[in-house]
Amino acid sequence: MQTPAQDTATPGTNPFAKQKSHRETKESLIKWTLRSATYVILIITASIFTHIFIRGAPVVFSLTPPFINTSFLTKLPETLHVLEDKQGKKYETTPTGVDVIKKQLGDNLRNEKTISYSGGGILGPIVGTILLVGVCVVVALGLGIASAIYLSEYAKQGKFIEMARLAILNLSGVPSVVFGLFGLGMFVLSAPKITSHPLDRSLLAIPLGFGEYISFEGWDTSVLAGGFTLAFVILPVVITASEECLKAVPQGFRETSLALGATKWQTIWKCVLPFAMPGILTSSILGIARAAGETAPIMFTAALAFKDKLPWQGDTGIMGIFTQSVQALPYHIYTLSARIPQNEYSERAQYGSVFVFLVLVMSLAGASVILRRKLRAKYKW
């Protein structure tokens, strides 16, 4: 004799299985919606990376030894000349070699066209980007960690400190072009410098004696101006992340250190910072990777579309490297994409530059992960 449950059960199903309630069905739907959103993001990200790899990798790598296009990584950008003979064969050359090919072709030359910034390589933008990021790292980490230590360890909680934290959070939402204009006014046109001949545009010149002045005339467009501007772009991220990492260190560490007779600073330096440093460096490096890709700030303060020399070439000295304009990968990519007529040659240089830049940014992100693991293994708590 069959039970009523067996009479209504569908063949192949468990008659004793619990039926899903409306609440469980709704929960499952929400779960799959969130999972689908995550997969969509991953698919879009993978599509972007795949597209850049397919278009950019052939520019950087080759099928013949040494399997790397060394000229693309070791030469400065140049104007590309493309000559075509009457048989349809094309010749790519630099401005210095165009006359030789013209002489060889003679009357067989059919057509010639030039594409700016699409020849040579990207050594200048790579070097400029590294210099800008280097200055940014020193300034952002120095100011950011110092501010975070004060807010977390020394500041008395009150309305002023809460307003300061709110201002820092609001600063992180300011568009990068605003930072660019700030850098133009603050560092390019009015930052102080020591000089014997103040410019007419100087806002204030304070005599130091011996014919020297502190002149508020700015640093002009330079690595220093660009690096300081980029540092202010990521400073809110560095301060906020560093403060959270400091707060995550157990209060017992501080109390034990103070009970043993250590000063406030000794406690912070020896017992708090080492355990907070993995998180501080990880978040800071990720912020720096973001700053390396900013175009608007360096466009106003540091970058040039073209420069035929590296920063150290010429009688500039070590400090002179940081007082001159440079090329940078973000601005170089912008120039190739928006200011040069698009064709197969400009697109080749464009995707090659994007691929190299993506590798540099991913290297920074990878370095942050490795550094975090090593520091966490060293300081376990």
Residues in the chain: 381
Task: Give the SS3 label for residue 319.
Answer: helix
Domain hosting residue 115, numbered range: 75-120
In a domain, 151, yes or no: yes
Name the packing angle between helices 123-149 and 223-248 (round to 10°): 40
In a domain, 9, yes or no: no
- Measure CA 219 to chain center: 23
Taking 70 as the pLDDT cut, the residues of the chain under it are 1-20, 315-317, 379-381
Residues 106 and 140 in one domain: no
Q: Could you tell me the CA-to-CA distances from 134 to 37, 39, 227, 318, 325 in Å, in that order?
A: 37, 36, 8, 14, 15
Residues 90 and 54 in one domain: no
User: What confidence score (pLDDT) does residue 379 get?
Assistant: 67
Residues 178 and 299 in one domain: yes
In a domain, 342, yes or no: yes
In a domain, 234, yes or no: yes
Residues 61 and 182 in one domain: no
In a domain, 357, yes or no: yes
Q: Which among 245, 236, 239 is positioned nearest to 173, based on CA atoms?
A: 236
Residues 36 and 173 in one domain: no
Query: Are 302 and 226 in contact, with CB atoms under 8 Å apart?
Result: yes
Q: Which among 216, 164, 157, 222 is positioned nearest to 191, based on CA atoms?
A: 216
User: What confidence score (pLDDT) does residue 1 get?
Assistant: 46
In a domain, 15, yes or no: no
Q: Which among 80, 239, 214, 252 is positioned nearest to 145, based on CA atoms?
A: 239
Residues 169 and 313 in one domain: yes
Number of folded domains that form the chain = 3
User: What confidence score (pLDDT) does residue 344 get?
Assistant: 84
Residues 35 and 169 in one domain: no
User: What confidence score (pLDDT) does residue 146 get?
Assistant: 93
Residues 267 and 208 in one domain: yes
Residues 129 and 79 in one domain: no
In a domain, 114, yes or no: yes
Residues 241 and 170 in one domain: yes
Task: Find the largest Cα–Cα distance for the chain.
Answer: 115
What is the rounded (10 degree) CA torsion for 70, 75, 77, 81?
A: -80
b/e code 113-151 from CB counts within 10 Å (16+ = b): eebbbbbbbbbbbbbbbebbbebbbebbbebbbebbbeb
Residues 202 and 135 in one domain: yes
Which ranges in the chain belong to alpha helices (H)? Answer: 4-8, 22-60, 70-74, 98-105, 123-149, 159-171, 176-183, 223-248, 251-259, 264-267, 273-292, 296-301, 317-320, 329-334, 344-378
In a domain, 1, yes or no: no
Query: Are 131 and 325 in contact, with CB atoms under 8 Å apart?
Result: no
Distance from C-alpha of 255 to C-alpha of 262, rounded to nearest angstrom? 10
Query: Are 160 and 318 in contact, with CB atoms under 8 Å apart?
Result: no
CATH number for 207:
1.10.3720.10
Number of C-beta neighbours around residue 299 at 10 A: 23
Residues 230 and 354 in one domain: yes
